[in-house]
Amino acid sequence: MKFIQAAIAAVAAVALFSQARADETGGSGANRLWRQETLSNNWFGLGGRLADNGVSVKLGLTQIFQANVRGGISTHRRSGRYTGSYDLEIELDAEKLLKLPGGNLLVAGKGGWSEGIDEPSVGSLFGVNDDAAGYRSFDVTELWYEQALLEDAFRLRFGKIDLTGGFEHLHCMVAFDANAYANDETSQFLNSALVNNPTIPFGDKGLGAIAYLRPAAWTYFAAGVADANADSRETGFRTTFGGSDDFLGIFETGLVPNLQSTQGPLPGAYRVGLWYDPQPKAHIDGRGVKRDDVGCYLSFDQLVLKENADQEDAQGLGLFARYGWADGDFNTIKSFWSAGAQYAGLVPTRDQDVLGFGLAQGRLSRYADPEAFRETVMELYYNACVAPWLSVSPSMQYVFNAGGSRNSDDAIVIGLRLQMSF
C-alpha cells in the first residue's frame, strides 16, 4: 500500500513540477493547472495518443475525514478518522485495437486505508462512509468484456463484474439500482443508504454476466446473474466453481423519458427491479432456514428545473427517490425508502458546484431485536469544484436511532472529502 501511495504522490509531484517549470519559462503553467481536466494534464499529453489507439486510463484519489460530534456509541473513542481510496480504471476499445466493432474491455482496481468511524463511534446500521473499505493495497475489482450489437441496442457484459456498474441510456445510468443524484460516494452522498438500496443483496464483485436491451429510446430491459458468494479480493473462480453454486439473479426495467421545458429536455429515469437470492438464510429468530429469497426495488430520478438551454450545461434542480422491500423473516432490513434533491450551480458564478440533501430510512424486522425499530439518516453536502480535477465537499449527517434501536442515541457526523483526478 505504501508503494502505491508513493506512486500516486509521485505523479502529483511531477504534474505540479511540470506546471511550475512552464510558469518559470514564461508560460502560463499556474493558470493552466487550474483549468486542465486532470492533474497530470491527461498523462502529460500522452492520453490523447492512447485514446486514438483505443486505450483510456483514469486514476482517482478520494480522501475523507469524518468525526462523530454527538451521540452514537462514543464521541471520544476514535470518533474522528481519516480514510481514503484510490481507483484505477483502464478501458480498451476492441474496435480500435482488434478491429472488433462494439467491443470493450474494462479493468478496474481499488485500494484504500482505514475502516471509518462506524464501528467504534457511531454504530450506524447503514454506514456513514461508503468509501471506507479497510486496509487494502490493491484489488482488481472488475475485469470484464462487453459486446454491443444491433446498433448498440443490445449489450452483453461478462467477467468479473459490478452489478451496480450500470449502462448509459440517453445520458441516464440504468441497471441496477442506478440513480443520477445518489449513486457515487466519491462525489455525492457518503452515507451508504444514499448510494445504493440496502435491501438488495448485491454482495461483492465477482464472476457474472449482464444483458441489456433497448427496444425503444424511452424504455429498456436488463437482467444479470452473479456469484452470490463472491469475494472481490479474489479472481472469482474459487467461489464460482469450487464452492456452492449460488448465483444472485436480478432483473430491471424502466422508463427513460425526456420531459420538455422552455430550456430544453429534462432527462429522468424510473426503474423497477426484482432480485432472487438462492443462498440459504437462517430465520432471524432461529426458526429454521430458507432458500430462494426474493425482493423488489424502485429507483427514480428526474431533472425538474434547467437553468440554461445548452444541453451540455448541467445547472438545475434534480429530485430522486428509492424504495426497497425484503422478507423481514430472513433480512434485518425489511423495507427501505429514500428521497432527496440536488442543485447544480445554485450559487452565482459557481456553475460546477453541487448542493445535495437526502433523507433515508430503513425499517427493521420485528425479529431482529426486541428493541428493533428503524434507522433514519439525513445528509447535506456541498461539492465545491476547485478545479476540473479537484473538488472539496464538506458534509453533515444526522443519524436517528443509530443501529436501529429505540434506545440508541442519535448521532451527528461531520465530514470533509477531497477528490482528485489524475
Q: If you average pLDDT over residues 128-148, what whole number do you get? A: 95
The mean of the pLDDT values for the chain is: 90
- pLDDT for 3 equals 47
Least confident of 175-179, 241-245, 393-397: 241-245
Taking 3-state DSSP, the helix, strand and coil percentages for the chain, each rounded to the nearest 5, stand at 15, 50, 35
List Cβ neighbours of 317 (8 Å cut-off, separation of 6 or more). Answer: 303, 304, 305, 341, 342, 343
Residues 66 and 318: their CA atoms lie apart, in Å, by: 27
Q: Per-residue pLDDT tens for 388-416? A: 999 999 999 999 999 888 888 899 999 99
C-alpha cell at 375: 434507522
Could you tell me if residue 46 is left (phi over 0), alpha (psi between -120 and 50 degrees) or otherwise beta?
Answer: alpha
pLDDT exceeds cutoff 90 at 270: yes
- Each domain of the chain, given as residue ranges in start order, spans 153-366
Residues 70 and 66: their CA atoms lie apart, in Å, by: 12
Alpha helices for 133-224 (secondary structure H): none
Q: Fill in the DSSP letter of residue 372.
A: B
Give per-residue burial for 341-377: e unless 16+ CB within 10 Å, then b: bbbbbbeeeeeebbbbebbbbbbbbebbeeebbbbbb
- pLDDT for 30 equals 65
Q: If you average pLDDT over residues 61-71, what whole number do you get? A: 95
**For residue 111, what are the β-bridge partners?**
86
Place 133 in a pLDDT band, splitting at 50, 70 and 90.
confident
Higher confidence at residue 45 or residue 91?
91
Q: Are 382 and 353 in contact (CB under 8 A)?
A: yes
**How many Cβ atoms are within 10 Å of 391's Cβ, its own excluded?**
21
Q: Per-residue pLDDT tens for 339-348? A: 999 999 999 9
C-alpha cell at 292: 430462494
Place 103 in a pLDDT band, splitting at 50, 70 and 90.
very high
Residues 99 and 103: their CA atoms lie apart, in Å, by: 9
Distances from the Cα of 96 to the Cα of 48, 93, 275, 389, angstroms: 14, 6, 36, 27
**How many Cβ atoms are within 10 Å of 127's Cβ, its own excluded?**
20
**How many Cβ atoms are within 10 Å of 252's Cβ, its own excluded?**
23
pTM of the entire predicted model: 0.90
Higher confidence at residue 6 or residue 84?
84
Burial of 150 (0-12, 13-18, 19+ CB in 10 A): exposed
Q: If you average pLDDT over residues 202-217, what whole number do you get? A: 95
Residues 147 and 157: their CA atoms lie apart, in Å, by: 7
Q: Per-residue pLDDT tens for 323-365? A: 999 998 889 999 999 999 999 999 999 999 999 999 999 999 8
Residues 39 and 30: their CA atoms lie apart, in Å, by: 12
Residues 26 and 32: their CA atoms lie apart, in Å, by: 13
C-alpha cell at 365: 424486522
Residues 144 and 117: their CA atoms lie apart, in Å, by: 33
Higher confidence at residue 377 or residue 264?
377
